[in-house]
Structure formats: C-alpha cells, structure tokens
C-alpha cells in the first residue's frame, strides 16, 4: 500500500516537472521547482490568494500531504473551488489511491465544508449543471475546439466547467493527469500542431531524419507549451479562483430559509407532464426532509419521501424514494435555486446511469394567488370551444373568467375551479388570432407564456432524436432509453423542419425499430434489444459476446426508431397564389419637345389594399404521421471510478 502511494507521489512530481519543462511548474508559494533557492538571481516569491481552511476534520486527515501555512492556506485545497460532485470525486480519489479512512459521517461533514466554503456561485454552478444532472442528451458543439479535443475525449466538459482554480492549480491539474494517465500526453494534450503530421515524403528522408520525425511524433524531447497548456492558460482567465461574484457572495452569505410548501411542475419523457407539490421541513443546518406529491397527465399519483442538502446557498442535492419502494431505487435530485430564493430548476433522475428522469421546476408558495403553468396549454385556431387547464397557487373561490386574459383573438367563455391549484378555462379563438406562444395573465400577475395557438399539426418529431443505450445485465448494469412523439407546427416562416418550428403536445404512438444499414450482413435489429410498441421504452440486450451472432459479436449496434401517430384536426387551406405583375413594355422613343414652362405636378392618389387575411380552414380530417429517430446501443462502462457504497445512503 505504501509503495503504491509513494509511486503515485513520485509520478506527480515527475509529471509536474515534465509539464513545464526545465523550470517545472510554480510551487505552492509562487516560486519554481528546480531553481536555486537563493542568490542574486532568485526572484521574490509572489503571494498566492487562497481560501483558508478552518475545519478540524480536514486538518486531521489532510495535513499529512497538504501542509498549512500561518494564514490557514492549505496546499492544493485552498486554491480551487468545485461543485459538490467535484469535491466528492476528489474525496473518493483520496480514499482509493491514498488510503484515506473516514467514517460516512466524517466524509459527509468534509464534503459539506468543501462544497460550502470552496464551492461555486450560482452562475458558475449553472455553467456545468448538465454534468451534475447526469444528462445524456446535451451538446458541446459550440465549445472551443482545443478545449474539446483536450478534455472531452475522457469525460464531459461539464466536469471542466464545474471548477474554478488559480493559474498554478490549473497547471497542477495537468500534472495529475500525466501521473495517473500517461497516455493523455499523446492522445489528448499534445495536439496535432506538435505532431508535424501531414503529407510527409518518407522516401526522400534519410534514416536519421525519419527517426527524428517519429521521435517528434511521440513527443520525445518536447519541453515547450502544448495544446493542453494553451487550454489551461485560457481556463485560468475564464475560470479563476477569485471572482467578484464569489467575493460578494462571501460577504452576503447566510443560510437560505427553504422550509414550507413549494409547487412542482415538469415533464418526464414517456410519461408526460405532471404537477404537484413538495413540503420541505428543516432538520439541520442546510438540511431538509422532503415529501413529494406528483400527479401525472393520466391521473396517476406518486408519493415520494426523502432528504436533501442545500450547498453553497444555491445547489440542492437530494434523494427521494416512492413510498413502499426499495431505498436503493431512490431518485437523485439536482436543482439550482434562483437569485431571489423563490424558484428551483433542475432534474430528478434514477437508473444506473441516471438516464431515467424528469425536468422539474419548484416555486415557493408565498400565500398569494398566482398562475404558474398550463397542464395542457394548446388551443386550435379557429376554435368555438376549447379547454385549457391552468396550474397555480391559491386560486380563490370567487375566481372568475374576467380575472384571466389571453390576448387578442382569444375569448375566455367560462371557468371551473377544480381546486386551489387548478382551474379549467373554456376558450374560443377567432380565425384571425395570431399563432404561437402567448402570455396568460391573472389579475395583477402578468403570468407565464403557457398558451400556444396553432392551426394544424404539420409533422411529428421523435424525441430524443439521438437515443443512447448500453447493453448490460451480466457484469454491468444496463442503460435504458425512452422515446416520445411530439407534434410540431411549421412556425412563422411557414416552412417545416426549420429553427422557428413550434413544439406542441405529445401524441400516443405505435413504435417499432428498423435496421440502419451500415455494412453488409448488418443484423443489429435482431440483437440490440426490445422496443415497447406502446410506450416507446427501449430495453437493451445483455452484454455479450453473443455466440449466436456472426463472429461472436456483442449485442451492440445502431437502429432507427420509428413512430406512427394519428391526429384529427383542421386541414390547412392552400396558400393564395401571388398575383403576377404585368410585364412592362419598353418605352417608345419620342422626339424631344421644345422647351416650355414647367407644369405643376399633380400627385395621383394611389389606393392601397390591406393585406388579405389568411384563408380560414373549413375541413377537418384524421391524418397519420410518421417520424423516426436514431438509437445507438453501445458497450458497457466496465469501470466507474465514482461509485461507492455511500452513494445509496
């Protein structure tokens, strides 16, 4: 055990020197390793700004490797800030590689201190929140290319975005990677600019020149900055340790009071929209017990109980289980509190990979009546009588249609108060009503944009368009996937499949998979798994190899997922054809007239016609729509370093 620890420490030191060349990286007090400590040429050490560590447990367990100076600054730890998940990974690495031994209660206290005192501000936490939310479907296409090539090959960039460091700590992060993952130097850090790759004429080279070329390609003898160094220099400027936002939060910080009732609404893929409430009861400093009541669109109700912690004044981390279910199947909660302490937004998820989840919003119940969202906020145009359910807080018994307003072209005919949190409006829309999203106001509250006007459905879309799953079940868990079919409107530009298209409601669909032909004898459809024809839920096959498959291949591959749905509504009339302008005849040549007195110009009145209103649909029909998405079923994750028994506690 001690030998392994010694080797890791030596590896870190060697990699630190290699990361910076002859001088080595800056040490903890601002100087350089490898230089002479004294003499006329020795530069004075620059003081580094850091965060003092005032925690007895961290001092007890960490001071052996991380000494503390007179001001309480501890090497490495005082010069970085992270999300709760980032500090949890650090703590687990200390347990795994450096044999730190703590009790679960002590680990919880250490994690709470680091997440609170060396955590992230709200804006910093939002930047990398998708990493904490375990979102599978997100995009990093707009990211700096060098950052993506250096870091995204091994983990999501959310892990990079969820930390702040000073310039020295960013350099030491590279040294740690080189010590634990030496291949990262050639695979990610060095970059193509240092490999001198391209169209090389090896025949024209001598043997010595060829050997020199391959040595450069392997990175031998390189001591200058590489791609990773450029990325780290940029991160030191964009994600520094000290920021104005962090300093302001440190001055104004306090325990945020959250106890009380909160309204909940959200959407879960495969189950639809839901509303409900959650009651928070304070159990300790920044700690709460939770009781969730969720009602889905089909009328089913779910009760959940759990507990949670609020880190750094904004970051909610909780766990709750359905009543009567095994605690091991509890769902995790990752939410972010807004600046006014009135609204949470985030994700609740479960599954071995966190792939099954729902987007949720929590709004504090202040006792005042207000409108929050629509349970079904879609209205046809034209419509003689349509129903829209609105979700809110404390609707009074004397609520009336005149209390609501939905904009031009929409008339509120009647209202039914279903409960203090639920009212049902009967609406009508005129043929000339503007299409698209609009705000529904309630009394003095401007209300949210929760009503969408549409004339017809133009097509449907499979969501997610790029599905992702992993085989498993024997040596590793499976990663599931779920799909749904969403009706779409063509949007203001009157063209389908463009950026301004408007998503509408989800439709009940019939599901099936189709082969995505990628090579000869492609048989992925037969082996990847099963797609439920009624719900769109995909269950992957077990991990292989499969003796029944060609070449004993694993049960992986990619297929199409096809949805077929029916919908009854208006048939849009054809657009009026534009009137062609008459061709102008060439002007006839005329002889110049003798000069005469200028005549007074008389302006002729031009009669302008108002634009013709769009044609009114007069026919309804039941139509069938089809759409397809892509599903990739890939290999298991054989090792998950961040998994520990305490994750289920």
What is the maximum alpha-carbon separation in the chain? 113
The predicted pLDDT at position 574 comes to 84
d(CA 68, CA 56): 12
Mean pLDDT of 457-473: 96
Per the model's pLDDT, the better-predicted residue between 599 and 453 turns out to be: 453
Mean pLDDT of 218-233: 76
d(CA 338, CA 502): 27
DSSP sequence for 623-648:
EEEEEEEEEEEE------TT--GGGG
Nearest in space to 86 (alpha carbons), one of 132, 20, 34, 17: 132
Helix segments in 66-181, DSSP class H = 84-97, 104-117, 122-127, 129-132, 145-151, 158-161, 167-180
20, 13 contact by CB (below 8 A): no
The predicted pLDDT at position 328 comes to 62
The predicted pLDDT at position 594 comes to 57
The predicted pLDDT at position 588 comes to 62
Mean pLDDT of 267-274: 93
Cα torsion through 435, 437, 441, 447, rounded to 10: 180
493, 474 contact by CB (below 8 A): no
Q: H/E element holding 424?
A: strand 422-429
d(CA 392, CA 373): 7
- Structure tokens given for 646: 């305490």
The predicted pLDDT at position 188 comes to 87
pLDDT digits (tens, 9 = 90+) for 512-565: 999 999 888 899 999 999 999 999 999 999 998 999 998 889 999 999 999 999
Mean pLDDT of 372-388: 95
d(CA 569, CA 380): 8
pLDDT surpassing 90 at residue 358: yes
96: left (phi over 0), alpha (psi -120 to 50) or beta: alpha
Q: What Rg value do the Cα atoms of the chain yield, rounded?
A: 32
SS3 174: helix
- Structure tokens given for 391: 């979700």
Three-state SS letters, 198-259: CCCCHHHCCHHHHHHHHHHHCCCCCCCCCHHHHHHHHHHHHCCCCCHHHHHHHHHCCCCCCC
Band (649; pLDDT cuts 50, 70, 90): very low
CA distances from 237 to 19, 52, 129, 164, 170 (A): 19, 22, 20, 10, 10
pLDDT surpassing 90 at residue 153: no
Query: Residue 186 carries which DSSP code?
Result: I
pLDDT surpassing 50 at residue 35: no
Band (191; pLDDT cuts 50, 70, 90): confident
Band (184; pLDDT cuts 50, 70, 90): confident
Nearest in space to 459 (alpha carbons), one of 534, 593, 531, 567: 567
SS3 595: coil
The predicted pLDDT at position 609 comes to 61
pLDDT surpassing 90 at residue 370: yes
Per the model's pLDDT, the better-predicted residue between 183 and 542 turns out to be: 542
Q: Which residue's structure tokens are 């062609």?
A: 580
Contacts of 232-237 spanning 24+ positions with Cβ under 8 A: 232/170, 232/171, 232/173, 232/174, 233/167, 233/170, 234/144, 234/147, 235/147, 235/160, 235/165, 235/170, 236/165, 236/166, 236/167, 236/170
Nearest in space to 79 (alpha carbons), one of 19, 135, 30, 129: 30
- Structure tokens given for 400: 């009336």
Nearest in space to 290 (alpha carbons), one of 367, 362, 373, 343: 362
pLDDT surpassing 60 at residue 315: yes
Band (223; pLDDT cuts 50, 70, 90): low
Q: Which residue's structure tokens are 């800030």?
A: 81
Out of 162-171, 297-306, 362-371, 494-503, least confident range:
297-306
d(CA 33, CA 53): 25
List residues bridging with 343 in a β-sheet: 363
Question: How many CB atoms lie under 10 A from the CB of residue 475?
Answer: 9
List residues bridging with 198 in a β-sheet: none
Band (224; pLDDT cuts 50, 70, 90): low
607: left (phi over 0), alpha (psi -120 to 50) or beta: beta
- φ, ψ for residue 317 (rounded to 5)? -130, 120
The predicted pLDDT at position 624 comes to 97
SS3 576: coil
Query: Residue 68 carries which DSSP code?
Result: B
Band (10; pLDDT cuts 50, 70, 90): very low
Band (589; pLDDT cuts 50, 70, 90): low
Mean pLDDT of 281-293: 96
d(CA 529, CA 509): 19
Question: How many CB atoms lie under 10 A from the CB of residue 425?
Answer: 22
Nearest in space to 190 (alpha carbons), one of 222, 144, 235: 222
Band (611; pLDDT cuts 50, 70, 90): low
The predicted pLDDT at position 154 comes to 87
Band (98; pLDDT cuts 50, 70, 90): confident
The predicted pLDDT at position 204 comes to 77
Mean pLDDT of 331-350: 96
With 0-12 / 13-18 / 19 or more C-beta atoms within 10 angstroms meaning exposed / middle / buried, residue 270 is: middle
Nearest in space to 148 (alpha carbons), one of 139, 157, 159: 157
122, 339 contact by CB (below 8 A): yes
Band (573; pLDDT cuts 50, 70, 90): confident
Nearest in space to 460 (alpha carbons), one of 435, 438, 487: 487
519, 492 contact by CB (below 8 A): no
Band (162; pLDDT cuts 50, 70, 90): very high
Mean pLDDT of 79-105: 92
The fraction of the chain above a pLDDT of 90, given in percent, is 66
d(CA 458, CA 540): 32
What mean pLDDT value characterizes the chain? 86
**What domains can you pick out in the chain, each with its CATH number?**
2-33+46-196+210-248 (no CATH), 260-364 (2.40.128.120), 370-454 (2.60.40.10), 463-571+621-639 (2.60.40.10)
Say if strands 509-515 and 529-531 run parallel, antiparallel, or are unpaired: unpaired
């Amino acid at each position: 055990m001690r030998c392994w620890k010694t080797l890791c420490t030596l590896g870190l030191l060697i990699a630190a020197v290699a990361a910076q060349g002859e001088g080595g990286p800056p040490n903890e007090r601002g100087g350089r390793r490898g230089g002479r400590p004294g003499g006329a040429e020795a530069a004075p050490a620059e003081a580094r700004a850091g965060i003092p560590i005032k925690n007895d447990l961290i001092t007890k367990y960490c001071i052996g490797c991380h000494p503390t100076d007179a001001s309480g600054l501890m090497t490495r730890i005082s010069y970085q800030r992270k999300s709760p998940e980032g500090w949890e990974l650090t703590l687990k690495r200390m347990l795994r590689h450096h044999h730190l031994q703590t009790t679960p209660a002590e680990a919880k206290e250490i994690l709470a201190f680091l997440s609170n005192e060396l955590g992230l501000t709200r804006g910093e936490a939002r930047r990398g929140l998708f990493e904490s939310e375990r979102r599978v479907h997100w995009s990093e296409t707009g990211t700096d290319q060098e950052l993506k090539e250096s870091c995204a090959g091994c983990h999501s960039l959310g892990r990079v975005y969820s930390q702040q460091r000073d310039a020295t700590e960013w350099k030491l992060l590279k040294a740690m990677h080189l010590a634990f993952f030496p291949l990262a130097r050639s695979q990610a850090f060095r970059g193509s600019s240092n490999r001198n790759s391209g169209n090389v004429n090896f025949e024209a080279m001598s043997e010595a020149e060829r050997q020199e070329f391959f040595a450069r390609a392997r990175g031998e003898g390189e001591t200058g900055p590489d791609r990773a160094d450029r990325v780290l220099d940029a991160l030191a400027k964009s994600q520094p340790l000290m920021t104005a936002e962090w300093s302001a939060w440190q001055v104004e910080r306090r325990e945020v009071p959250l106890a009380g009732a909160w309204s909940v609404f959200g959407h879960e893929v495969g189950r639809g929209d839901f509303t409900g409430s959650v009651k928070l009861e304070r159990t300790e400093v920044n700690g709460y017990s939770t009781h969730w009541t969720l009602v889905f669109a089909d009328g089913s109700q779910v009760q959940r109980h759990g507990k949670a912690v609020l880190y750094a004044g904004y970051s909610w981390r909780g766990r709750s289980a359905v009543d009567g279910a095994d605690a091991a199947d509890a769902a995790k909660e990752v939410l972010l509190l807004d600046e006014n302490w009135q609204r949470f937004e985030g994700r609740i998820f479960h599954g071995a990979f966190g792939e099954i989840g729902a987007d949720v919003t929590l709004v504090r119940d202040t006792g005042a009546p207000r409108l929050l969202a629509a349970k079904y906020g879609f209205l046809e145009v034209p419509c003689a009588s349509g129903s829209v359910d609105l979700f809110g807080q404390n609707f009074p018994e004397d609520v009336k249609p005149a209390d609501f307003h939905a904009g031009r072209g929409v008339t509120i005919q009647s209202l039914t108060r279903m409960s203090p949190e639920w009212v049902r409006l009967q609406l009508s829309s005129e043929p000339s009503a503007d299409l698209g999203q609009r705000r529904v106001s309630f009394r003095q509250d401007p209300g949210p944009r929760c009503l969408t006007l549409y004339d017809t459905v133009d097509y449907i879309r499979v969501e997610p368009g790029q599905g992702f799953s992993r085989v498993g079940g024997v040596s590793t868990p499976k990663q599931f996937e779920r799909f749904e079919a969403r009706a779409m409107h063509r949007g203001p530009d009157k063209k389908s499949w463009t950026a301004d298209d408007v998503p509408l409601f989800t439709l009940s669909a019939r599901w099936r998979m189709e082969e995505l032909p990628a090579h000869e004898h492609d048989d992925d459809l037969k082996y990847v798994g099963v797609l439920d024809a009624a719900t769109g839920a995909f269950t992957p096959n077990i991990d292989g190899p499969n003796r029944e498959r060609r070449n004993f291949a694993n049960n992986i591959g990619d297929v199409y997922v096809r949805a077929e749905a029916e919908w009854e509504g208006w048939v849009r009339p054809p657009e009026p054809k534009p009137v062609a302008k008459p061709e102008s005849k060439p002007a006839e040549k005329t002889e110049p007239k003798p000069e005469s007195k200028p005549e007074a110009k008389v302006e002729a009145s031009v009669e302008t016609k108002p634009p013709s209103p769009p044609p009114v649909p007069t026919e309804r029909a039941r139509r069938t729509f089809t759409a397809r998405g892509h599903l990739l079923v890939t290999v298991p994750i054989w090792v998950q370093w961040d998994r520990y028994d305490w994750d289920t506690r």
